[in-house]
Structure 1
């Protein structure tokens, strides 16, 4: 069936959602309204005082939820409504109640360890890594040249231990020495005295534009390894180092040489050297960095953070652990007073991308990101700098002094209240690697300042020294605090053991000083032949870091640290090479082990009730009007907790996407049933599919059924997330087991989104989802469990899935048990809501404005079957009508009732745009509860045409996808055009008597006449037009991106109109343009014959056909064979009138 009836749509909405009640003028009833959040509220959490009314004193509680785009402007992602759809769930926290949830705690927590048993030693242990070293030689070098750079002026004694040198050989020196552009095969040092083994000697070279070396910073970009081996210098004179990879000198640049080694014997060596004026740097003292292997973050002193607003630069050196990355990491995070992220860096995330977040105005944070390869963040020291200038709207990431990623339009200011580094704020994410030289400035540093001061960023000579807020060198081996040596020191605190790592020579990045010396160097060039390379795996020993083991126990429903153990790795330790490949095992005798044990326990917290699950709409180009859009929700079930001072919060990410006005309306009176109690079956939580299947969350729960109640209900709201959880329909269940009965309720968590009342939206709003739609409340499922439980006895309630496991799927679950007293009335019919006419409630917006039959939802709140209802209804200032509905309505069930209207004068007599309806009798007698018998709604008048409008529709590219029909005031179908052909224009000439009519347009695939996601499906359109002379002018255009359907009520009210039943009505001709034939649809209840004339532009009749009427509405086919393409006039002649229409023939 192409047209889903309004009854079907509205009853589905009524049954599966909480959109039930309308604020009413309750005759004789006192109403208390509590205002909470308003459009200008800066927070979405606070304490509010609700009236201290007993549930027996409250007939209804409505939550009136209004949202509008920020500052009432159309959304563009940055202003107005924000771009994305986020969960925006509303909670009441009752601190007088306690909830429990199943929880798991690993007994021994070791950061970065995921094995089954951790072997340890109480004494320090060592480990080793394997490195491939290459020794290279040649049989001969033809046309060889050895070019000496530098003059012997003094002696250079190599430093002992882990050391690194930088030497710069200027271009003019190289050219003067005779070097040619091209390959350099090796180099010689002239040893004056000494005999030593230089372990892990590494030489790296690069063409450089630098003309001098500074202690504060060296541009190391482009350095290439050319030599890596254990070397022996055992004779005076020239000692050669043949490169395993020749270095290609460009013939015009200087050469920067990096020389490093680990050798206690190096101090025995004395080389020929020249005086080096800013051409040599050395770091020979022990250097340390902080090793973070998934441990707790460091908490910064927040006093200086307030100095950051528009500009910020954060820089540091990091060495990511290749055996651990990529995983989800955070190397720094800062939040504001409301807990909103203000700065954050993932280095990287598990997808290998690096993220820089900065600035948050409540609608979300500015972000730039870029996918990175593992060698960009792991396996070597990398200098990073993250900057933002909110005034310029610029965010940048620098890697090793070079711009790596940038973004514009990032204007959100920075407001940091607290900040951690080496992890995130809540200690749930950490970093895996080494960190050094962590700095923060309240200024945007440029690339020059970043690159030229990368070795001494905290120097008092730094051009931005006055803007330096924090400088943590991370090298002093102090425990408990992280030393800040900025000009206003503010140490950071550490909650656990700080692991310092001593750097090998090749990994040194700090402690550089001018050496004043540079070796006299000979550079070897020529054409080599007969290369020999001997590769060997060499082990390098290092001390194992301390392992922090946190032993947990459970106290009062909380997992707490019982003891911290500081031990060392032991057992079988994996030896890895420089490529992170496993190449062997080293066995260290352990003193003991920590097994992987999980403690299962109940976690206790204040009771937190989800009273609404809603997802914010896609905000691009979204207009929620200056008054916003208003939902009304029945929250009477929560009467036991909506008393006194309670914490109200909106959470899960979407709370600031729009402005929110939220109020509660307490309607005093005798309830249909008193709500005795509401309790969470489960603490609101997110569960992943596999965990739910394994009962690791939302496990079977044993609840005591309250013994003073007579009716019990489970209410649950479930929404699916991630790719499969969001877009895959799965069957769920709620089961109840007791000593009385076992019952399983199966249900689908699936919501059709293409009839969303808020449309169109900027994203994929039409796609059906698991329990939710963008811009709409989530479905609420209700299950009456009264027959299956015994008051005062236990029952086991369980939630789960039917079917196999589903990856990439998680679900937000809210589930409560509601207990009620007995029904207070035997005969009690109540009007739940007015569907149409209604201009106040967005959930009914697709049905309004309306001039057709009013539609209301009536519920049987009593215990007696309702067999007959009489309703009286009118608009303000107009006459009243009455209607008797005769159809059974069972207790606790509802019916949608359409109320007939005899004439449009019912609406035109209106003097206030208020519609009211009242139940006057139930089963032939007065209703026992009159408090819910009368409801009224505001409404808007529909468009009125004082002419015969023309409806025009251009279909999309899908054959049979589009349909339309027109009905009269009481729903009689006048025109029905299903399954229209593709890419065709249809016109309906509506020569109808004065009255109210309804246009309904549907799309079978539920993607409208046009949808941005499917450009190949074409772009159709629809409108009402008016004929002005020979031109058809649009008077009402409809949005093509309407999803499943749209409805439009209109009035034809022609002045002095006389409707002659003898007149032929030309309803439509299609297709137009036509090729082989044209279909002509006529309506004439009286005429016996109709003549059709096709006339060309010269006035000549080129086609004539005489038609005999067989039925009141009939379609005729006029064949166009032999008719030349062009513009024609189609004339329709009956006994009483003549109609004309333009027709184009292709």
Structure 2
């Protein structure tokens, strides 16, 4: 791909002047237009003794150089973006803990079990309404007895519809119905757990396939004795309010009574108003076991439309947890279908369609009753053509989303778990169906109980219909038009439903009980609550036993058992009320089996977090970081895999590895991972379940050793809570605990402003910046070749919602090659190429460099020479102590701003001449250069203006001269106030510094009540003040701005003088020229490049007493130019920088 000029200049400027081209090898890896974010690359096969330094030149820019906006340009969110080199000739080991017995949803130490079925109980609050009598009683009877309706002793559930006309004809009025009466023709005794619900409905008929069941109101719940014959009156504990115009739907249910016979109700022959189920009813109970794989061939018919429907009853003792009730993927393992019902946060997620870059999703927070403790019918649909995804609850639209146009490609699918059996479902499932067609609300509602019915409008589009209600122990039956075989590895868990929970087996009945509804005025009423125990069978629990063989966990045994031991009896609200003891046949005693997993060694060479992308412009050349990665020289040889992971697709990136050949100041003998890079949750870290103490041996041929670690915190508390971490090292000579705080200041981020909460400090990282690297010298703790014990951990107690990504490495070095060796690490100021230094640039104040002591002796003084190429040369004697391996920032004094303006280039050069008054033993790292951008030049007295926001005392500003002396300072500015500072200063270089004490700038979206402020540099023209430079108000902790004031007055005699303004300077395209005092004179303008060639010429007539002209410099090359302004026989010359 095309290499940008900026990246090329950065690469060149990183080289020492003495390093010839043959001394440097650059390896290009990932580029802006790379199809992937990983690959195998060939690095030079150099010995570590031949490598002086390795730089990683890391560039990012928004996709296609566009400004970030949602999915356009830069990615919207901040993501960890970690760079790794994988060495397949080395191995990482990771502590693994395998539970000896894996039992779904069991975290105790001992599991008591029985080989035979067991049962528990729930205590229900049944209610009896006690009436002393009714005044003005109305008994409205509907129907004429002509047959009997048999209620078998099995569980039963019935629905009866009574029309508004029937109710009115029976003299019933709008208002409360207090009970009903049935004619018992035959009865053996009792209806257990008899429950009646009612609702007003617009439906005029009901069918066994499905109808509207939402919003039924419970009116009766009681174990009810039934007389042998005669009238049975059921008085409601909760009167039902009939609206007078709707039909009434009555639901009646009861539990099986094995000792009783059939009950017969006097009934009327009638059609389309009576539905019932009166046989044993089952549903599939999934209890954390593996899911069921659906035959894939039929699934390939799904592409642009899909509908999935089923009944679900989440286990109230477990839900909500992270779970999947289904998941499907394509051949590349991209998620294509998924339903979290729910996730642990109580939200329902519907994922559908994936183009390889991510899946379409809609989600909504649900009430607990929607996903646990009762049956709910769910349907999930998508239409790629319309871009609409929808979720239906009980046949009613519950949630929808638009713009979801990713097509669906399914190659494999599992029911009752995710695709990898990592997230199971906990609860009961029934009537599972898939169509390759979008269904509507009415169709879903009318076939909830029988989606496989051949009268279904989309029957020919039905791919799967699993009733999940037949109790067959060894198979799942598919009743679709083209049935498939579904493998079943173990016995299935079938749950026998109580009457009120029946969702299967409904039939259209030809009889409806003759019913009398009772109305009237209540004289007195009392409510009696009665506790009633309902027994239920426990479900079989899968138990998997593991053992460690050949360093890996393998399944030793599988068991299906029933829980036993102490059972807690709860009431219907989940409150414990009693207990029972069930004898056990055995106990599974939990145990942790520990072993090490070995993988190819994967070294994190950089941890960086992507910036918030909304509104972000990284320019067409992107932003470039430079990192010293010489520590990784032992692994960056030959063919290696380079990968950028996690948030690698948020931006385009370009990674170059620059190898500078030569004798190293300290040879890197070895680098090794103490721990494999991984994520650790705080509880696991504290318990040494990850990052456990490790025993290593110090390299026998090394002279010094250090530990380098990068830690970044994630989740709410991990990200936003400062914590103390430690590395403890026990050697054969001594031990030491290195404490360090994982916390990073973010409001001075060089990439600003960003979208999102970029100013908030975080645990070890900031959006748009490299993460902190902590380094600890452990040389004094052990001898070469001796063992050391190393442990990483956290200080303090556990906390929720916190995990950490940890890279921890041991680096071994040879002896220092030189006693006196000072090297220039970086030019901080001036520097246009490195984003790390953008807050300090452009600059005209003192140059700042970083110097590192690579030698074995202390540095006490440095003689430094520096210049801008084509300009004056200065020298500075730095006096101060720099310890071995210490890096010191040194400011270099400048005596006049013409140090910058009189040069013919914008290339800064710096060289170390002497170390401790003698020649440096290693001169290769003594020189460095940097390209820079010249600061704005004002040929007038500028005015600084700041308008504060609503927070008083938050802002301060100061003006410094080029050597850092404060000339003007204003602190604690009042709220919502405009302040102007007239800078009537001599010609020179100046620095404006603006601070914000709260580190949230003059404007930040997160605090709208704080209001917005602004700041700028302005110019007075006649009686007007016009802005020349406006500063972005979202600047975080503060900003610096360097500028030159050069008020030039040109004269050739006492009577003629001119004031020349050329702005902006530097310029991108359009430049303005004003010459005051040129009354009656024509101006001839020449523009010459640095080689003296004329590139532009204009003739400008006089206008009053001034010359004014705007020029376009489009098409000219960037660089330095000289503008010649000829006024009669006088020539004025001004320097101009085209940037």
TM bracket, shorter-chain basis: 0.7 to 0.9
Higher alpha-carbon deviation: 499-508 or 229-238: 229-238
Aligned pair in 2 of structure 1 residues 638, 821: CA closer, same or farther (>3 Å)?
same
Q: Residues 353-372 of structure 1, C-alpha deviation per residue, up to 9 Å, x if partnerless?
A: 43444556677665544443
**2:496 is the counterpart of 1:498:** no
Map of 2:846 onto structure 1: 853
**2:817 is the counterpart of 1:799:** no
Cα RMSD of the aligned pairs, angstroms, is: 3.2
Aligned pair in 2 of structure 1 residues 522, 422: CA closer, same or farther (>3 Å)?
same
**2:248 is the counterpart of 1:291:** no
TM-score when normalising by structure 1: 0.84
Deviation at 1:557, TM superposition (A): 3.5
Q: Residues 457-502 of structure 1, C-alpha deviation per residue, up to 9 Å, x if partnerless?
A: 3444433445544443333445676554444555555665532222
Map of 2:5 onto structure 1: none
Q: Residues 1063-1107 of structure 1, C-alpha deviation per residue, up to 9 Å, x if partnerless?
A: xxxxxxxxxxxxxxxxxxxxxxxxxxxxxxxxxxxxxxxxxxxxx
Higher alpha-carbon deviation: 97-106 or 483-492: 483-492
From 684, 706, 710, the counterpart of 2:699: 706
Contact 1:771–1:779, Cα closer than 8 Å, also in 2:
yes
From 529, 532, 543, the counterpart of 1:538: 532
For the residue of structure 2 that corresponds to 1:932, the secondary structure is coil
Aligned pair in 2 of structure 1 residues 767, 797: CA closer, same or farther (>3 Å)?
same
Deviation at 1:152, TM superposition (A): 3.4
Contact 1:43–1:338, Cα closer than 8 Å, also in 2:
no
Map of 1:752 onto structure 2: 745
Structure 2 unmatched ranges of 5 or more? 1-10, 1053-1139
Contact 1:196–1:265, Cα closer than 8 Å, also in 2:
no
Higher alpha-carbon deviation: 160-169 or 772-781: 160-169
From 318, 321, 328, the counterpart of 2:312: 318
**2:115 is the counterpart of 1:122:** yes
Map of 1:197 onto structure 2: 190
Deviation at 1:561, TM superposition (A): 2.3
**2:518 is the counterpart of 1:515:** no
Deviation at 1:380, TM superposition (A): 0.8
- Residues in 2 aligned to 1:127 and 1:396: alpha-carbon distance in whole angstroms: 39
**2:1024 is the counterpart of 1:1031:** yes
- Residues in 2 aligned to 1:854 and 1:306: alpha-carbon distance in whole angstroms: 65
From 432, 443, 455, the counterpart of 1:438: 432
Contact 2:151–2:278, Cα closer than 8 Å, also in 1:
no
Higher alpha-carbon deviation: 966-975 or 838-847: 966-975
Map of 2:323 onto structure 1: 329
From 398, 421, 444, the counterpart of 1:450: 444
Higher alpha-carbon deviation: 508-517 or 798-807: 798-807
Deviation at 1:1043, TM superposition (A): 1.2
The 5-angstrom pairing of residues 328-367 of structure 1 reads 328-334=322-328, 343-358=337-352, 367=361
- Residues in 1 aligned to 2:628 and 2:479: alpha-carbon distance in whole angstroms: 59
- Residues in 1 aligned to 2:378 and 2:466: alpha-carbon distance in whole angstroms: 15
- Residues in 2 aligned to 1:260 and 1:877: alpha-carbon distance in whole angstroms: 97
From 611, 631, 636, the counterpart of 1:617: 611
**2:281 is the counterpart of 1:254:** no
- Residues in 1 aligned to 2:1050 and 2:414: alpha-carbon distance in whole angstroms: 77
From 257, 268, 271, the counterpart of 2:265: 271
From 151, 164, 167, the counterpart of 1:174: 167
From 564, 570, 591, the counterpart of 2:558: 564
The 5-angstrom pairing of residues 664-1063 of structure 1 reads 664-908=657-901, 913-1056=906-1049
- Residues in 1 aligned to 2:810 and 2:861: alpha-carbon distance in whole angstroms: 33
Deviation at 1:891, TM superposition (A): 1.9
Contact 1:161–1:266, Cα closer than 8 Å, also in 2:
no
Map of 2:1081 onto structure 1: none
The 5-angstrom pairing of residues 19-98 of structure 1 reads 22=14, 26-41=19-34, 43-98=36-91
- Residues in 2 aligned to 1:480 and 1:850: alpha-carbon distance in whole angstroms: 78
The 5-angstrom pairing of residues 145-184 of structure 1 reads 145-184=138-177
- Residues in 2 aligned to 1:936 and 1:482: alpha-carbon distance in whole angstroms: 74
Deviation at 1:1042, TM superposition (A): 0.8
Deviation at 1:1019, TM superposition (A): 2.5
- Residues in 2 aligned to 1:457 and 1:880: alpha-carbon distance in whole angstroms: 88
**2:214 is the counterpart of 1:221:** yes
Deviation at 1:660, TM superposition (A): 2.9
For the residue of structure 1 that corresponds to 2:688, the secondary structure is coil
For the residue of structure 2 that corresponds to 1:56, the secondary structure is helix
Map of 1:582 onto structure 2: 576
- Residues in 2 aligned to 1:582 and 1:76: alpha-carbon distance in whole angstroms: 53
- Residues in 2 aligned to 1:488 and 1:638: alpha-carbon distance in whole angstroms: 59
For the residue of structure 2 that corresponds to 1:168, the secondary structure is strand
Map of 2:542 onto structure 1: 548
- Residues in 1 aligned to 2:409 and 2:692: alpha-carbon distance in whole angstroms: 41
Structure 1 unmatched ranges of 5 or more? 1-18, 1060-1146
Deviation at 1:707, TM superposition (A): 0.7
From 449, 472, 475, the counterpart of 2:466: 472
Contact 1:29–1:931, Cα closer than 8 Å, also in 2:
no
Contact 1:207–1:249, Cα closer than 8 Å, also in 2:
yes
Aligned pair in 2 of structure 1 residues 762, 269: CA closer, same or farther (>3 Å)?
same
Contact 1:20–1:634, Cα closer than 8 Å, also in 2:
no
Deviation at 1:88, TM superposition (A): 2.3
- Residues in 1 aligned to 2:620 and 2:487: alpha-carbon distance in whole angstroms: 49
Higher alpha-carbon deviation: 484-493 or 142-151: 484-493
Aligned pair in 2 of structure 1 residues 339, 941: CA closer, same or farther (>3 Å)?
farther
For the residue of structure 2 that corresponds to 1:375, the secondary structure is helix
**2:519 is the counterpart of 1:525:** yes
- Residues in 2 aligned to 1:866 and 1:124: alpha-carbon distance in whole angstroms: 81
Map of 1:1129 onto structure 2: none
Deviation at 1:1027, TM superposition (A): 1.8
Contact 1:497–1:548, Cα closer than 8 Å, also in 2:
no
**Count of aligned residue pairs for this structure pair:** 1040
Contact 1:23–1:62, Cα closer than 8 Å, also in 2:
no
For the residue of structure 2 that corresponds to 1:88, the secondary structure is strand
Deviation at 1:769, TM superposition (A): 1.9
The 5-angstrom pairing of residues 365-384 of structure 1 reads 367-384=361-378
Contact 1:968–1:996, Cα closer than 8 Å, also in 2:
yes
Map of 1:140 onto structure 2: 133
Higher alpha-carbon deviation: 163-172 or 987-996: 987-996
**2:396 is the counterpart of 1:402:** yes
- Residues in 2 aligned to 1:23 and 1:455: alpha-carbon distance in whole angstroms: 75
- Residues in 1 aligned to 2:478 and 2:917: alpha-carbon distance in whole angstroms: 85
